[in-house]
Amino acid sequence: MKRLISYAITLLILAAATIQAQTPPAKSIASKTIESLSKGKIELTIPHLGAGVERIVLENGLTLYFYEDHKLPLFNVTALVRCGAIYDPLERNGLSALVGGVMRSGGTKSISGDSLNILLEYIGGSLETTIGTESGSASLSVLAKDQDLGLKLLADLLRNPAFPQEKLDLAKTDLKNLIKRRNDNPNRMVSTYFSNTLYGDHPYGRILDWSSVKGLTVQDLADYHQRFFVPNGIILGISGDFNKTELLSKITQYFGDWKKSSLPLPSQPEVALTYHPGVYQVRKDINQAYLMIGELGIKRDNPDRYAIGLLNYVLGGGSFTSRLTSRVRSDEGLAYHVASSFDTYSRDYGTFAAECQTKSVTAYKATKIITEEIEKIRKEGVTEQELEDARNSIINSLVFRFDTSSKIVSNLVSLEYDGYPPDYFEKYLDSYRRVTLADIKRVAEKYLKPDQLTYIVVGKPETFEKSLSEFGKITNIEPAKPVIE
Amino acid sequence: MFKSHLSLVTCAFLLLTSLTWAQSADVQLDVKKHTLANGLRILVLENHSAPVFSSIIRFNTGSVDEYPGITGSSHLLEHMLFKGTKIVGTSNYEAEVPIMARIDSLAHLAYAEQVKLQSPLNAFDSTRLKQLRQQMADAQAEQKQYIIKDEMWGTYLQNGGTALNASTGNDGTQYYVSLPKNRLELWAFLESDRMANLVLREFYSERDVVMEERRLSDENTARGRLAEATAATVNWASSYRWPVVGWMSDIQTVQREDVEQYFKSHYSPSNAVAVIVGDVNADSVFAICEKYFGKIPPQPLPRPVVTRDAPQAGERRTEVEYDASPMASICWQTPQIGHPDLPALEVAANILSNGRTSRFYKNIREKKLGTADAGADYSRYPGTFSCDISPYGDHTVQELETAVYAEIDHMKSEKVTDWELQRVRNQVDAQLWRSMDSNRGLASRIANSEIMTGDWRDFLNRSKAIKAVTADDVMRVVNKYLVKKNRSVVSIVRPEGEQPAAAAPRKNK
């Protein structure tokens, strides 16, 4: 009994302290009008299977989502493919990017890349492939009258890409140029060094080098395709002006005899949850300091992701209404862009990062304020009003994720690809509604570690008004000229 | 390449099966237009496929309407339009007025000091300026007790607003947001309020923000440096010569009253259009707009911009030293929107660089020389036809320039092919249909057309004009405009005496 009472008392004291600390926010002259015009329930229909969208799995494992929508004479397909740079060995870093590029540019075994270009451009259509860190994709967009042709080409490209030598050479030249220009843009530099410092050689943090690209062969590309482009690793999302029965018979015709693979996906290298506190100053002759401050965060299956989303919204994710923008930009005029992000979408540990660019002479001041705000939100959490505002923004804008049939389909395809349940969006609202002030406080304490922060600064440290040494041990980095021989 | 006969056969077959082009219907849009007594044009396109709408308010005012001393004001106003009004973003406007007056007079004194600083003939005391700035900051801190920060922005976000922002260009500024359908009246209230009751609060600290924006986007990227130098090289007299963000010295010194005056003269209802596309009823939109925007008093249109460049008489070249790999911009002067040569120039740009079948792609990128992108302006005042080039590997800007000129010369002497023209026509149609899938995109096209030409159908008409362009037209305009004496070439070069950092082993952790 005694313990219970004291617990309650503590709560009361805490509540009183909170009330005292928070003077009620002043209301504007227009606040009543704004309030009265902000009423009315916001109409939201969460898409689910059966309501317009259907899902079918072919015998070979190819999964289809489709939405028949005759409003416009358009036909769109997005295919997500289970592959990604996450599976690239370090010594073949760049392989996925090359496969994604050459798959399209090289065409198929029956129609060359150049003919594909001629054909698609002539009908005003597009078919593009790309492979990112944790997924590959192919997107087709044609007018409805060209849907049969489009589907044929898409199937041919997914199943029989040619990977000709000359297109591989061209793609390598593009990458070589990208590598060569690596240190041209401070924005690109700061994020490259940030990820590399946090992740090292893990695929989330690798720096693309010519040494791992130059030896890649067309056989490597073909092997990759053979390994990952299998019907049971692909989800197709189709929307637009088609007839379902006809579409299904075509899909069966073009994809049905594709043999499924029994090989499981390779395991993904794990991110070591380690911290790299310190200040890393990367030299570049510019008149601003580009700052990126952060550390490893969470994996996407972490149930705290909703509370973290709201926490980050208040800290620096909610644009002008966020604390970082309010202080660094609006109060102090120190930066045009200042924001924080807390990645809750990666399979493995994503990052928390705050960033801004400020003139060299205020580098210290901006760094100090950002650090203070991280410490403050960790210590004090957020106010009820802040939580409510963040929650309303996230919930009320959900309708825009479903305002066209192609968005509805691609959202559902992504859910399945990422392993979320089909009722994810229905639960999504509740997951945000349930978050309490105490949850925010708890996740802030748990996941923000001010003493472990990595500070990456691109600029000219000798022009800063004060050394950044109070934020950690300083390491100076002279960016090396990329080796591209 | 040995497979090419097979692909060509396949290709020809596939082409035949898809040659049903003529049957595709023209895009028809039921846009309804209503002009308020004060001149504000409201355009509505109903689309009931989702319970949302997109809005754009576009003013026919951009950096081209500015003058030296206040360059960057349209853009600075873009920031100020989110800072509140006499009733939004303030708990007590009356109390703010004297504080802002005090800040303004301090700013005048600071301005006088800044002017002194610019000339070596003046004795300059830096402590005085520092002192004034501190006093301004103190006064602003005092004003802060009345300010409710970013109330408009926050209100939109909490009501589900997305695609919320504003943008400023040479020719116009636009303010946009997409909202759930039952927030139309909220939109009309907030937007009409800022058109009528804007208060330029936190003006001087926002100048600092804009200076950071300038450093970020114009000074610390090679593209930004190139764009700024290009505009100033091409335009000797035209107001396109200064950057949209403004010259640094103007941003540093521009006074609140100057920008307020500019706002009063240029941001009137008659100089604007409001476009709504989405799940709304056009008559209700007109009624709501009458109620909120109708109260704003009418005023004459701002002074048109009449300063023009004389025809260019000789090639111009500019170099900008910057620590980045080389790149360049080549520009030829062209006429303004409405001129019948523009569609043919657009077709030329398209054939040169749009897509993987384009001539630059085939003959420059696939030959691994580098990238080249062409574009043709449709601007309020005379603009340019431009090519941005960026060499690969050890190739030089000069080599790329030569390659670009070779392609252009080829167009001067030989007609573009029927296939190329048909490709462009088909793409125009397909893109138009694709644009129908976005409320936001449509609103933008409608607003842009209406404000630039007085006819919202202009983007549809332009598509028709492009489809009517012939091979002779292309040859004629290329010969007419893309000539050496009408050309400017601006390039980024490494700082003299500096080589990029020496190769060293990279540190991976």
Task: Render pLDDT for B442-462 as a digit per residue (tens, 0 to 9).
Answer: 999 999 999 999 999 999 999
A485 Cβ neighbours under 8 A, 6+ residues apart:
A210
A-chain CB neighbours of B222 within 8 Å are 184-185
- Strand-strand pairing, B41-46 and B272-278: parallel
* Residue B45: predicted pLDDT: 98
* Residue B78: predicted pLDDT: 96
pLDDT for B9 beyond 70 = no
A34 vs B155, B217, B434: nearest CB: B155
Residue A48's pLDDT band, with cuts at 50, 70 and 90, is confident
Give the whole-number percent of chain B exceeding pLDDT 90: 87
* Residue B496: predicted pLDDT: 81
Average of per-residue pLDDT values in chain B: 92
For residue A188, give the chain B residue with the closest CA.
Answer: B221
Q: What is the mean pLDDT of residues B483-506?
A: 76
Residue B25's pLDDT band, with cuts at 50, 70 and 90, is low
Return residues 263-302 of A near B (CB < 8 Å): 276, 284-288
* Residue A153: predicted pLDDT: 97
Indicate the CATH number for domain A53-255: 3.30.830.10
* Residue B118: predicted pLDDT: 87
pLDDT for A15 beyond 70 = no
* Residue B121: predicted pLDDT: 87
Local structure of residue B57 (DSSP, 8 states): E
CA B210/CA B226 separation, integer angstroms: 19
* Residue A9: predicted pLDDT: 36
pLDDT for B469 beyond 60 = yes
Residue A483's pLDDT band, with cuts at 50, 70 and 90, is confident
Cα-Cα-Cα-Cα dihedral sign, residues A340, A344, A346, A352? positive
- pTM for the model: 0.92
| Nearest in space to B419 (alpha carbons), one of B473, B468, B351 | B351
pLDDT in tens, A284-334: 999 999 999 999 999 999 999 999 999 999 999 988 889 999 999 999 999
| Nearest in space to B482 (alpha carbons), one of B307, B352, B288, B367 | B352
- In this chain, the answer to whether the domains covering B32-90+147-293 and B316-493 adopt an identical fold is yes
Residue A211's pLDDT band, with cuts at 50, 70 and 90, is very high
B323 vs A112, A285, A398: nearest CB: A285
pLDDT for B23 beyond 50 = no
Indicate the CATH number for domain A278-477: 3.30.830.10
pLDDT for A247 beyond 90 = yes
Residue A12's pLDDT band, with cuts at 50, 70 and 90, is very low
Give the whole-number percent of chain A exceeding pLDDT 90: 89
Amino acid at B456: W
pLDDT in tens, A355-389: 999 999 999 999 999 999 999 999 999 999 999 99
Complex ipTM value: 0.90
Residue A23's pLDDT band, with cuts at 50, 70 and 90, is low
**Count of A–B CB contacts within 8 Å?**
292
Give me B255's structure tokens: 């006074």
Cross-strand partners of B374: B387
pLDDT for A20 beyond 90 = no
Residue A13's pLDDT band, with cuts at 50, 70 and 90, is very low
Q: What is the mean pLDDT of residues A146-158?
A: 97
A-chain CB neighbours of B87 within 8 Å are 28-30, 33
pLDDT for B131 beyond 80 = yes
Q: Residue B98, exposed/middle/buried by CB under 10 A (0-12, 13-18, 19+)?
A: exposed
| Domain chopping of chain A, boundaries | 53-255, 278-477
Domain spanning B32-90+147-293: CATH superfamily: Metalloenzyme, LuxS/M16 peptidase-like (3.30.830.10)
- Please judge whether A38 and B178 are an interchain contact, meaning their C-beta atoms are less than 8 angstroms apart: no
Average of per-residue pLDDT values in chain A: 93
B-chain CB neighbours of A330 within 8 Å are 149-150, 202, 205, 209
* Residue B498: predicted pLDDT: 62
B-chain CB neighbours of A338 within 8 Å are none
Residue B393's pLDDT band, with cuts at 50, 70 and 90, is confident
Domain spanning B316-493: CATH superfamily: Metalloenzyme, LuxS/M16 peptidase-like (3.30.830.10)
| Domain chopping of chain B, boundaries | 32-90+147-293, 316-493
* Residue B26: predicted pLDDT: 76
A-chain CB neighbours of B148 within 8 Å are 25-28
**CB count, 10 Å around CB of B212?**
24
* Residue B6: predicted pLDDT: 39
pLDDT in tens, A98-128: 999 999 999 999 999 999 999 999 999 999 9
* Angstrom distances, CA of residue B394 to CA of A175, A218, B25, B324, B369: 14, 25, 49, 14, 9
Return residues 442-461 of A near B (CB < 8 Å): none
Local structure of residue B483 (DSSP, 8 states): -
Q: Is A81 helix (H, G, I), strand (E, B) or coil?
A: strand
B361 contacts B386 by C-beta, under 8 angstroms? no
